[in-house]
Amino acid sequence: MDFEIINPATTLELLGTINELQSKHFRFGAGYSDLLMELKKKPEENLVVINLSQIKDTAFTGLTISPDHVRMGAMVTAHKIVMNEQLNKDYPVLHQAALTLASTQIRQVATVGGNLCTASPSGDIACALVALIAHCEIMDSTGKTKSIPITDFFLGPRKTVIKKNEFLNGVLVSANNKLSKNIYSAFLKIGTRRSMECSVVSLAYHIQTDDDGDIIHAGVAIGASAPTIRFAKDACDYLIGKRFDHIHQKEKEEFATKVLSYADPITDIRATAWYRKEVLYNLSKSIFE
């Protein structure tokens, strides 16, 4: 494992670095828990690592909660998410996803940006953010930003829409619906152990109901079940208008079948495709039990 490292201290310096390196082979380093493992297994020749972890700008490192959204800079750590009381209250799915990520130690360094840009089909925070229909704020090397829905962010395993002259600056999550009375929100992660797991299957959901208990918003995402994390749109649409606590067996099954239609899992050493589908179906039903 050998590489050169560049340590920009501000976003401005980062833009300059990205511009300079356009003709070279470079990668971003944030928490390094994935990058170092990858480079140890497969060293890359003439690699320059742009070290993001010394940038001080709060837009990049901070977590801000305003009335209409939550904004997380790309360098916000899993630990910071776990510790935030407001996120825990408003977005249990995100809190739980961050809390089940790897280990206590890894959560100190693992970042939102890293979890998204690695584009692993089993990314935990990423799966929760898909369920929350987050928006990704991408900046290019001229300093221009654009915002795209997270459902458009992933192109395939380890592939995102980010171009060589761009980077992920932050993530925005809309505030819960003003009319929402109850929130049913959780991250269900299945593995062999209770800790240190990479999901064999994961299911993230964030469902809001109004005063009458009717579902007014639903976000459901599946992890480790397809080449990318997927948003189960049909399943979400199916729920709108239904009473959360009156969903009967048939409807649960129909919902689960709709979730499952987004799954296209692989068989690997951790589980077969059959098992992944079976569990995903069961977990989908379990939301209403």
Partner 1 sequence: MKKEYKVIGKPIPKQDANIRVTGKAIYGHDILLPGMLYGAILRTEHPSAIIESIDVSEAIQLPGVHCVITADDVDVNNIGYKRDHPILKKGEANCTRDEIAAVAADTKEIAQQALRLIKVNYRIRKGVYDAFEALDESAPQINKFISGKFENKNIAEKFHYEHGNLEEEKKKSKHIVSRRFTLPRMTHACMATSNITASFNNIDKKLLLYSSTQVPFLYQRDMAHALKMNPSDIRVIQPVIGGGFGSKLDMHPFEPICALLSIKTGRPVQIIYSREEEFIASPIRQPMVIDLTAGVDKDGNFTFREINIIKDNGAYTSWGATTPFVIMQAFSSLYKVKACRFDAKAVYTNNIFAGSFRGYGNPQATFALERVIDLLAGELGMDKADIRLLNANEKGEVTGQGLHYDTCGHKECLETVIEHSGYRTRSLQNNDKRYKRGIGIASMLHVGGGAKIYRSDGCGTTLKIDPYGYCTIITGSNEIGQGSETVLAMMASEELGIELSKIKVINTDTDVKPWDVGVHASRTSFVAGNSLLGAIRILKEKLNKKAAEFLKTSHFDFDYSDNMIIPVNTKEGIALDKVVREMHFSAPNELAIASFFYEPSSKFQDKDFKGNVSGTYAFAAQAIEVEVDTYTGNVKVLDIYVAQDVGKVLNPLLLGGQIEGGILQGVGYALTEELLMKEGRILNPNFHNYKMLTASDIPDIHFYPVETLDKEGPYGAKGVGEAPLIPTAAAIANAICNALDLDVLDLPIIPEKILTALAEKKGTK
Partner 2 sequence: MIKEHKESRLKEEVLHVISFMLNERQVTCKIKSSTVLLDLIRDHFSLKGTKPGCYEGECGACTVLINEAPVNSCLYLAVNANGKNITTIEGLVKSDGTLHPVQESLIEHGAIQCGFCTSGMAMSIKALMNQYENAQHVPGDIRIEIPTRNEIKKYLEGNLCRCTGYVKIIDAAEQLFAKEDQ
Q: By CB under 8 A, name the binding residues for partner 2.
A: 1-5, 7, 29, 32-33, 36-37, 39-40, 49, 51, 53-54, 65, 79, 82-86, 88, 102-106, 108-109, 194-196
Cβ of residue 277: shortest distance to partner 1, in angstroms?
11
142 or 192: CB nearest partner 1: 192
Give residues with Cβ within 8 angstroms of 220, minimum separation 6. 131, 203, 204, 205, 206, 207, 231, 232, 235, 236, 259, 284
Coil vs helix vs strand at 136: strand
Q: Which H helix or E strand runs over 168?
A: strand 166-174
Cβ of residue 35: shortest distance to partner 1, in angstroms?
16
127 or 279: CB nearest partner 1: 279
Cα–Cα distance measured from residue 263 to residue 253, given in angstroms and rounded to the nearest whole number: 15
58 or 108: CB nearest partner 2: 108
Cβ of residue 193: shortest distance to partner 1, in angstroms?
5
Q: In this structure, are strands 63-65 and 69-73 parallel, antiparallel, or unpaired?
A: antiparallel
234: tokens are 């049909």
Cβ of residue 271: shortest distance to partner 1, in angstroms?
6
Q: Which H helix or E strand runs over 19?
A: helix 11-20
| Four-residue CA torsion sign, 45, 48, 54, 55 | negative
Cβ of residue 88: shortest distance to partner 2, in angstroms?
6
Interface positions, 183-202, toward partner 1 (CB under 8 A): 190, 192-196, 198, 200
* Count of beta carbons in the 10 Å neighbourhood of residue 104: 12
Which of these, 50, 47, 51, 54, lies nearest to 2 by C-alpha position?
Answer: 47
Please tell me whether residue 271 binds partner 1 under the rule CB under 8 A: yes
2 or 212: CB nearest partner 2: 2
19 or 86: CB nearest partner 2: 86
Interface contacts to partner 1, rule CB under 8 A: 190, 192-196, 198, 200, 269-272, 274-275, 278-279, 282-283, 285-286, 289
